């Protein structure tokens, strides 16, 4: 791997992945709000992404929100608020979709490349046994569908491209502080190594899949 693009490079996981890649000698381009990339603004996405020149061997999309500022994931249907749900959807599903719209020209037409989008196990419909967290779950389920569709489209023109959704596990960042439940959180640096290990082991035949930090398939 020679070049990587990390979207959300100032976040806990995105920053750790960028640092780990640089330590391996990879040339990393990091984008975040600092560079004017507001994923909820289509004009900003088109402008910032349009200024990039590929090809990138890895594109990692590590943007997301659990709930709007001052809010929390819903514990019951009665807690759903339209504006809050729309904000979560804008960041977790529509934003990555706008990023993926720009990806085909940024990865090589020939040779292996990976487009990895951070999702979450709670976005799995098949694995949902607890309910609640309606906006976050729905946004990640929508994201998974977007990734799946992107993988199908990319495979038509980029035969060795791999486009996947990844669940990083419970990570000790400010993102989900206080919401990890019984799951033990790992440091961002450990999560980054786990994710890069999974990415390194992916093959084109796995494009369109949903995998956790161990490389195991997560049900849709």
In the structure, what pLDDT confidence band is assigned to residue 50 with cuts at 50, 70 and 90?
very high
> In this predicted structure, what is the pLDDT of residue 63?
97
Output the pLDDT for position 158.
Answer: 97
pLDDT in tens, 187-200: 999 999 999 999 99
Prior bond of 85 cis (ω within 30°): no
Q: How confident is the model at residue 79 (pLDDT cuts 50, 70, 90)?
A: very high
Confidence band of 173 (pLDDT split at 50, 70, 90):
confident
| Residue 116 pLDDT grade (very low, low, confident, very high; cuts 50, 70, 90) | very high
Q: At what angle do helices 134-157 and 82-89 cross, to 10 degrees?
A: 30
* Contact (Cβ atoms closer than 8 angstroms) between residue 97 and residue 142: no
Q: Rounded distance, CA 42 to CA 213, Å?
A: 30
Q: Is the pLDDT of residue 178 over 60?
A: no
Element at 82 (helix H, strand E): helix 82-89
Domains of the chain: 3-212 (3.40.50.720)
pLDDT for residue 61: 98
pLDDT digits (tens, 9 = 90+) for 32-49: 999 999 999 999 999 999
Short-list 201, 187, 203, 204, CA closest to 215: 201
Is pLDDT at 177 greater than 60 in this prediction?
Answer: no
Q: Is 70 helix (H, G, I), strand (E, B) or coil?
A: coil
- % of the chain residues with pLDDT over 90: 93
């Amino acid at each position: 791997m020679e070049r990587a693009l990390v979207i959300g490079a100032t976040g806990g996981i995105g920053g750790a992945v960028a640092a780990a890649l640089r330590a391996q000698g990879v040339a990393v381009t990091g984008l975040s709000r600092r560079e004017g990339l507001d994923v909820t603004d289509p004009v900003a996405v088109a402008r910032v992404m349009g200024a990039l020149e590929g090809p990138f061997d890895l594109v990692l999309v590590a943007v997301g929100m659990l709930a709007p500022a001052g809010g929390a994931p819903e514990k019951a249907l009665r807690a759903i608020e339209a504006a809050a749900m729309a904000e979560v959807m804008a960041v977790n599903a529509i934003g990555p979709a706008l990023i993926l719209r720009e990806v085909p020209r940024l990865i090589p037409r020939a040779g292996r490349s990976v487009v990895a989008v951070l999702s979450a196990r709670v976005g799995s419909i098949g694995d949902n046994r607890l309910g609640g967290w309606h906006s976050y779950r729905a946004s990640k389920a929508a994201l998974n569908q977007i990734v799946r569709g992107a993988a199908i489209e990319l495979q038509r023109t980029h035969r060795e491209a791999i486009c996947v959704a990844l669940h990083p596990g419970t990570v000790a960042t400010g993102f989900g502080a206080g919401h990890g439940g019984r799951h033990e959180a790992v440091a961002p640096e450990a999560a980054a190594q786990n994710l890069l290990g999974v990415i390194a082991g992916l093959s084109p035949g796995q494009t369109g899949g949903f995998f956790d930090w161990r490389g195991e398939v997560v049900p849709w």
